[in-house]
Amino acid sequence: MKNVVIKNLNYSYNENTPVLKNINLEINQGEYVSIVGQNGCGKSTLCKLIIGLLEKDSGEIIVNGLSLNKDSIQEIRKKVAIVFQNPDNQFIGATVEDDIAFSLENNNIPREKMITLVKEYATKVGMEDFLTKEPSYLSGGQKQRVAIADALVRNPEILILDEATSMLDPAGKQEILSLVNKMKLENPNLTIISITHDIEEAYLGDRIVLLNEGEIVLTCRPDELFKNSELINQYNLSVPFIVQLQKKCQELGYQINDEDTLEKIGEMICQSK
Amino acid sequence: MPIKINHLSYTYMKKTPNEVKALDDVSLEIPDKKITAIIGHTGSGKSTLIQTLNGLLTPTEGTVEVGDFVITNNPKKNKKIKELRKHISIVFQFPEYQLFDETVEKDVAFGPKNYGFKEEEALKKAHEALAKVGIDESFYKRSPFELSGGEKRRVAIAGIIAIDPDILILDEPTAGLDPHGSNIILNLISELNKSGKTIIIVTHDMNIVMNYSDHVIVLSDGKLAFEGVSSDLFNGDVSNYSIEIPKLFQFCKLLEEKGAKIEISKIRTIDDLFNQLKERK
């Protein structure tokens, strides 16, 4: 089933600055799609359009079979949850449990059920020992885990991660990536749209969508992009170390294959005298 | 101006139930005119440390010496703080959130004006600073709020450069930028250092540490865990510090194990590595 269908979508902040140009994209239920591209290429704008935080100029956005408009927006927002970049900007409650409960309060969930759900989702994200803690006592990674609990407790069909790890330290980032992985295993039908600059992170998805200046340049399997250092350079994506090394070796005349591991390249360098 | 920190401790909300000891008996030196990287996990005391350097926080115990300035726990003795801040400035994390003025040039001129320069001189300093960060004249009269993320950050950094401090502290200067935007900022930092500025970078990115730093400080739970050069850090046990060893360093170690005669401590980039290999041939 198609979870998100975007047809001929256009959006601009004003007449002179088109942000998204004729976007066509289909995302299947249960698919994990990474959206990559430079700052200002329209990644975040695209996500904001999908949940109706911004209004499109033209084209159509269909989420779960519903075309996005004024009448369907509330229904669609129940299906889509988003986790933003800055952990401090999305902590609303005074404590972890309040924060998770806030999501449910908006949806008229009875108190008894709410208490069970808050505990259940806090446990899912590994924050069950912090229920009564205030945000100032939490690390960035912990706050983002709470933000993911806030998102998932509403049982969405689609989870959008808008650079959700970019303000975290390596440990915090790892926490989030393994959590997302776990969520995916527990609920294979959950569709994930992840916006990221980190090529190693984008590599975790089923598919990569590369945006440049508001247009989709390419959608492909991550390893296909990963191997294409030309595209990576052209669109200013970060280049994985192995690709940099292979390129350097090729320039210097070593016989390098795409599959060669660091070990193999190392041996080749040491043997050539 | 060298910086010397002696037995520095800092406690937030002292004598309350929420007391947190963020820095615990830290002694270290930050060398003059070099690039020093400060690393450590979230909550290790990095931000607290940099805020004590220009007197935004006064030590609970111990002293901070910046050149001839001494900051102690006695607020009455810390009279020259404003003077000190002309010499040492902090670019906070996500500095673009602190832009506020109507136009780019006014925003950057705010610092020099605040330190007593006349409008015209302040604008001149602003224009010079903007040139250094690669923001040209066409931006001067634009609102800083309509710029892209990377441009905003460069404008914010220009605001600090315009004050012309001897020491620049940058907290996560590349966070949230794409690789292109990051490279512009890192090259700028490198240029500023070459022109004689002391640079202190707080970062989680070990590639930056390897490629740019002369000196590294690691904090862990408010204590000094390591002080020295990056190659010594990566060679040791880093399992407690939330550090990802750069792939380049790992590859150099692999080459060394296979018998390549390379001097890892002098390698900062892939090019450095291959230059050494070439010389060896």
Question: Do A266 and B258 make contact, defined as CB atoms within 8 angstroms?
Answer: yes
The answer to whether B216 and B233 are in contact (CB under 8 A) is yes
Percent of chain B with pLDDT over 70: 100
Q: Using CA atoms, how far apart are residues A270 and A263, in angstroms rounded to an integer?
A: 11
Claim: this prediction has a pTM higher than 0.90: no
A269–B contact, CB cutoff 8 A:
yes
A222–B contact, CB cutoff 8 A:
no
The answer to whether B223 and B24 are in contact (CB under 8 A) is yes
A264–B contact, CB cutoff 8 A:
no
Q: Which residues of B touch A273 (CB under 8 A)?
A: 281
pLDDT at A80: 93
B181–A contact, CB cutoff 8 A:
yes
A236–B contact, CB cutoff 8 A:
yes
Question: Do A38 and B178 make contact, defined as CB atoms within 8 angstroms?
Answer: yes
> Nearest Cβ partner of A140 from B42, B255, B260?
B42
B1–A contact, CB cutoff 8 A:
no
Q: What is the mean pLDDT of residues A128-150?
A: 88
pLDDT at A273: 57
Confidence band, pLDDT 50/70/90 cuts, at residue A89? confident
| Helix, strand, or coil (residue A171) | helix
Tell me the sheet residues that pair with A66.
A63
| Chain centre distance of CA A244 | 25
A266–B contact, CB cutoff 8 A:
yes
Given the candidates 3.50.50.60, 3.20.20.370, 3.90.550.10, 3.40.50.300, the CATH classification of the domain at B3-242 is 3.40.50.300
Among chain B residues, the shortest Cα distance to A251 is held by: B274
B97–A contact, CB cutoff 8 A:
no
pLDDT at B150: 81
Q: Using CA atoms, how far apart are residues B83 and B19, in angstroms rounded to an integer?
A: 31
Q: What is the mean pLDDT of residues A116-120?
A: 94
Question: Do A270 and B259 make contact, defined as CB atoms within 8 angstroms?
Answer: yes
Among chain A residues, the shortest Cα distance to B20 is held by: A137
Which residue type does A233 have? N
From residue A157, alpha-carbon distances to A99, A164, A187, B69 in Å are 21, 18, 10, 59
Question: Do B176 and A237 make contact, defined as CB atoms within 8 angstroms?
Answer: no
pLDDT in tens, A167-224: 777 777 888 888 888 888 999 999 999 998 887 788 889 999 999 989 999 999 988 8
Question: Do A236 and B251 make contact, defined as CB atoms within 8 angstroms?
Answer: no
Q: Write down the domain spans for chain B.
A: 3-242, 246-281
Q: What is the mean pLDDT of residues B207-232?
A: 95
pLDDT in tens, B153-200: 999 999 999 999 999 999 989 887 888 888 889 999 999 999 999 999
Residues of chain A with CATH 3.40.50.300: 2-234
The answer to whether A169 and B41 are in contact (CB under 8 A) is yes
pLDDT at A130: 92
| DSSP class per residue in A28-43 | ETT-EEEEE--TTSSH
ipTM: 0.73
Q: What is the mean pLDDT of residues B81-106?
A: 90
Average pLDDT, chain A: 88
Tell me the sheet residues that pair with B199.
B35, B168
Looking at the domain that runs over A2-234, which CATH code has it been given?
A: 3.40.50.300
Query: Nearest-CA distance from B70 to chain A in Å?
Result: 31
Sheet with A191-195: list strands edge to edge. Answer: A80-83, A158-162, A191-195, A32-36, A207-212, A215-220
pLDDT at A158: 95
